[in-house]
Chain A
């Protein structure tokens, strides 16, 4: 392959690059500039250096939001991967009506965050919801997601796991299916138990897929907004806010564009940091082709 890029290739990738550049790259860079200025709607910006970052980092609500985000992301991604892995192995061990069951498992992928919130609120409506009554029957206290912040975060996590499980499941299931079955046959001849073949064959061979699924889910869970906004609105008393909700409120409710932009760049940096390992691998793979 020649080192020069043919003109026709440039023409073909131009629309994609224009969209990405104009809608994502330029605005993201502009956010950085905004984060160094004091500004609001219809107000000229004045340069303030890192003052916005200092302001955000001194705001207890920001730390609360950051802590909530980290807690929710940690719960959601790990529980989701665990259930997804369990389900992938269960499917691989052979299930009846597999195509139908697969369609059923994928169903939540079609559900909007808005409808999911309606569903889970109905299930956990205090006193009258089906799950609340179930909890009461077995003698457990109800989940008071609207008044108790930790219950609210638990509901948000549950909802988020439910919505995104199809993604984790499919990645792991596809990876599990690509493991050759003779490996298991050989292990079985050697007298390996189910647990040993899981430890020695399944887990190591699934590791790359597990890592990819985990990275994608970390990055996407970190920008969590709709579930929180629709379930609790960040309340009560701003106690269930996550980073994206904090950013939204700063910008669109309190008109503090500077601190919202600073929060935005902290979000970008966190996402990049999470993705560092993946980016390095991708970088090497990409340029191996050139």
Chain B
């Protein structure tokens, strides 16, 4: 470490200021709505200190009684997220294995194509998909969201899986092959258990994305499959002024599970982000 000329005490003080700034930047907006979701309407914009209020569950009760749609939206979000995760992780595992274990010009070209295609903005493909989806009767179904969310993450998923599978010694699958195992058996018995880390990393991305996605849900769903972010956006756009308390309650309910998940999966998120972004 380079020597600093600053006195020790000042350095500690600066570091403390830095830590506080980082915490304030990241947590104040989140903490504020979570806290305000327990405030009465009067306290939400009260000027007498943010912390002095009598906590109430009124906003959550109002959310339950007047915005039943929101809980239906949460259920849809859950189904779509689960479906997209299983689909994306499954196909990424297979492709990641192929790209890790086989190399030929054709395969390399298809790997290049896989990453190249990620550059196309999602909104562009909604134009031709919208009439086709309508025509197929897939509009407003969980299936179409699952397919779209998984598709937009299989590129990154495959790159991340390939990076992780590259680290599994080839001798293991060669030994299994000598024992007469088929390709699928090798994947299921040898690769799958050892690539669990990578699969978790891919899952974190897909789950966070599918749980929070707005654009596709906005365009392709109306009532039956609409997800929680869409319902919250309807609450923001309510004609009769914004009901802040109920909005805070809904945002908190939507946010807390995925926040807890990201914190729990921190290590895998970081591993996946570095594997995916730096190598792909």
Contacts and interface: CB of A to CB of B under 8 A. Distances in A.
A265 B123 CA distance: 11
Contacts of A252: 130, 219
A28 B124 contact: yes
Interface string A123-142: 10100111001000000000
Contact of B214 (A112, A118, A162, A272): A112
The 9 closest A-B pairs by CB, nearest first: A112-B212, A12-B98, A223-B121, A119-B29, A264-B124, A9-B102, A128-B45, A110-B262, A27-B125
A110 B208 contact: yes
Given A12-B95, A104-B22, 12 more contacts: A8-B183, A9-B107, A19-B151, A24-B151, A27-B132, A87-B22, A114-B254, A170-B273, A171-B273, A212-B277, A229-B214, A290-B105
B36 A101 contact: no
Interface in A140-177: 162, 167, 170-171, 174-175
B92 to A, nearest CB: 7
Residues of A in contact with B, size category: 35 or more
A283 B150 CA distance: 25
Interface stretch (A47-55, A57-65, A72-80, A243-251): A243-251
**Binding site of A, secondary structure by majority: helix, strand, loop or mixed?**
helix
A34 B130 CA distance: 13
B110 A17 contact: yes
Interface string A256-290: 01001100110110011001000100110011011
B55 interface: no
A10 to B, nearest CB: 8
29 contacts: A5-B106, A16-B114, A17-B95, A19-B151, A23-B151, A27-B125, A31-B124, A31-B128, A34-B128, A93-B1, A101-B23, A104-B27, A108-B30, A110-B261, A112-B211, A114-B236, A117-B236, A122-B36, A128-B45, A129-B45, A222-B121, A251-B126, A251-B127, A268-B120, A272-B119, A279-B116, A283-B112, A289-B103, A290-B103
Looking at A4, A102, A115, A212, which has the most chain B CB atoms within 10 Å of its CB?
A115
A117 B247 CA distance: 11
A265 B126 CA distance: 13
**Binding site of B, secondary structure by majority: helix, strand, loop or mixed?**
helix
Interface of B: 1-4, 15, 18-19, 22-23, 25-27, 29-30, 32-33, 36, 45, 47, 50, 90-92, 94-95, 97-99, 101-108, 110-117, 119-132, 147-148, 150-152, 154-155, 158, 183, 208, 211-215, 218-219, 229, 232-233, 236, 244, 247-248, 251, 254-255, 258-259, 261-263, 266, 269-270, 273-274, 277-278
B121 A267 contact: yes
Contact of A15 (B94, B121, B218, B269): B94
Nearest to B256: A110
A286 B112 contact: yes
Given A114-B236, A119-B33, A108 B120 contact: no
Interface string A82-122: 00000100100101100101111111111111111111111
A38 interface: no
Contacts of B47: 128, 133
Nearest to B91: A15
Contacts of B36: 122
Given A1-B102, A268-B120, A109 B25 contact: no
Contacts of A121: 236
